[in-house]
Homo-oligomer: A and B are copies of this chain.
Amino acid sequence: MSGAEEYWGFIKDPLYGYIRLTDVERKVIDTLAVQRLRRIRQLAGAEFVYPAANHTRFEHVLGTMYLAGVVCESLPVHLTGEEKQKVRLAALLHDVGHAPFSHLFEPLLLKYMGRNHEDVSRWIIAESTLTGVINRLGFDAEELSGLAVGKPSKSDRPFLGQIISSSFDVDKMDFVVRDSYHTGAGYGSVDVFRLIYTMDVLDGNLAVDATALSALESLILARLESFKAIYFHRASRAVQMMLLRALEAARTDLTILEAKTADEYMEWDDYTVWSKLYANARSREIVREIAARKLLKCAYERTFYAKDELASSVFTNENVRLKLEEEIASKAKVPVSDVGIDVPTLPSVPYHYAMNIGPIDIPIFFKTRSGEKVPEKITKLSKVLDDLRVFMNIVRVYTKEEYRKQVGDAAADVLGESPLSNVLSY
């Protein structure tokens, strides 16, 4: 562990100011696995709505590492220097597995590689050129690969993993405030430090003091607003749909999906995939439309809330969805290839996984007058969060600008009348 406790220097972050790095951290940061994240944008598609949203996974993992360190320093239980360093490294590495365009690529990873980005993070940490670097620095790459996805080794205490991956982990805290900063969307003014400073460990598990309830509500509401205003924005989703189509079309030329080794996988990033799609005859047309911002238009939209997921799951069945697309296209008298149903609550959809973790799971404790710490369900304490235990289902039908009217009418016919039909935002 040489260098784990020696400070090497600082990196400046626009959110947290100076982030202090140990020598170990610097050496891990200066590897291709981490540096590659400089070329993977955090929110592929959102930049078409928020022009400043060009931030990358690289900044995000640095911020996540920083917050993980703040939690380690602040918790009222003892952590050894080695434990702290492991948690910070795991936070730094938690996203190394992301494919180009982050979550956008996720359905392809699942479909053609049978892995999600967390599986790939483990793969890269444990079986790439990064692995040797970690081991030579005196850490166990295998162990870190688990901790990075929230699964500490048996010998570790559970809360160490929960810092990185749980219902209110440092990953979510960082992305909510960072996405808000770079988009300017303004929903992310969350007091993450209040949350962190009131965390404690109960029976080995991370828990939040009920006195920070307002901060917790804010975090969860900010995340919800972010979904609506950023991740699921109509134009942002249009770009994502188009890019996914381009990726499917050019799939056989994207050798990332046949990568035999983690190092081969890491050859691919936003730059190389985009250039490939741009040059490839099968994807070229659609990518050029994105490049000139000729986006698919939302002709129909419907939002509804449900206590369980069933409400939208009817669309998760690809056959059902295709059937409906055909019906709408036929009624609208447009080619079926120009009609696309988008259901951002589908499991295959970016960020969906983040929605799965209901606020209900967050462990809260309060202190009795005698000073005892008693766990409590958050939904008993928070009216707002109790009410939010629902799934937001959005169903949209996209088409070309010139078909907007007839596809909108046909969709209303097939899927029911929709209350909203126009937006001002870009």
Interface residues of A (CB under 8 A from B): 9-15, 17-18, 21, 29-32, 35-36, 38-39, 41, 47, 49-52, 54-56, 58-59, 62, 180-191, 193-194, 197-198, 209-211, 214, 217-218, 221, 224-225, 228-229, 270-272, 274-276, 278, 288, 291-294, 305, 366-369, 371, 376, 381, 383-384, 387-388, 390, 392, 405, 408-409, 412, 419-426
Q: In the complex, what residues of B have CB within 8 A of residue A211's CB?
A: 420, 422-425
The reply to whether A194 and B293 contact each other, CB–CB distance below 8 Å, is no
Smallest beta-carbon distance A365→chain B, Å: 10
Nearest 4 CB-CB pairings of A with B: A189-B189, A14-B184, A387-B387, A275-B275
The reply to whether A9 and B187 contact each other, CB–CB distance below 8 Å, is no
Q: In the complex, what residues of B have CB within 8 A of residue A278's CB?
A: 271-272
Q: Identify the closest chain B residue to A187 (Cβ).
A: B218
The reply to whether B14 and A183 contact each other, CB–CB distance below 8 Å, is yes
- CA of A214 to CA of B426 in the docked complex: distance in angstroms? 15
Among candidates B11, B291, B420, residue contacting A51 with C-beta atoms closer than 8 Å: B11
**Knowing A184-B14, A274-B271, A421-B367 touch, does A217 contact B225 (C-beta < 8 A)?**
yes
Q: In the complex, what residues of B have CB within 8 A of residue A62's CB?
A: 51
**Knowing A369-B408, A419-B376, A425-B10 touch, does A35 contact B189 (C-beta < 8 A)?**
no
The reply to whether A35 and B292 contact each other, CB–CB distance below 8 Å, is yes
Q: Identify the closest chain B residue to A390 (Cβ).
A: B383
Among candidates B38, B186, B210, B272, residue contacting A190 with C-beta atoms closer than 8 Å: B186
Q: Identify the closest chain B residue to A76 (Cβ).
A: B7
Smallest beta-carbon distance A304→chain B, Å: 9
Q: In the complex, what residues of B have CB within 8 A of residue A54's CB?
A: 41, 54-56, 59
Q: In the complex, what residues of B have CB within 8 A of residue A11's CB?
A: 51, 426
- CA of A193 to CA of B193 in the docked complex: distance in angstroms? 18
- CA of A55 to CA of B293 in the docked complex: distance in angstroms? 19
Q: In the complex, what residues of B have CB within 8 A of residue A209's CB?
A: 424
The reply to whether B14 and A52 contact each other, CB–CB distance below 8 Å, is yes
The reply to whether A187 and B189 contact each other, CB–CB distance below 8 Å, is yes
11 contacting pairs across A/B (C-beta < 8 A): A11-B51, A31-B292, A32-B292, A186-B191, A189-B189, A214-B225, A214-B228, A214-B229, A270-B271, A366-B420, A371-B422
The reply to whether A59 and B52 contact each other, CB–CB distance below 8 Å, is yes
The reply to whether B425 and A30 contact each other, CB–CB distance below 8 Å, is no
- CA of A221 to CA of B11 in the docked complex: distance in angstroms? 23
**Knowing A194-B18, A214-B228 touch, does A51 contact B189 (C-beta < 8 A)?**
no
Smallest beta-carbon distance A214→chain B, Å: 5
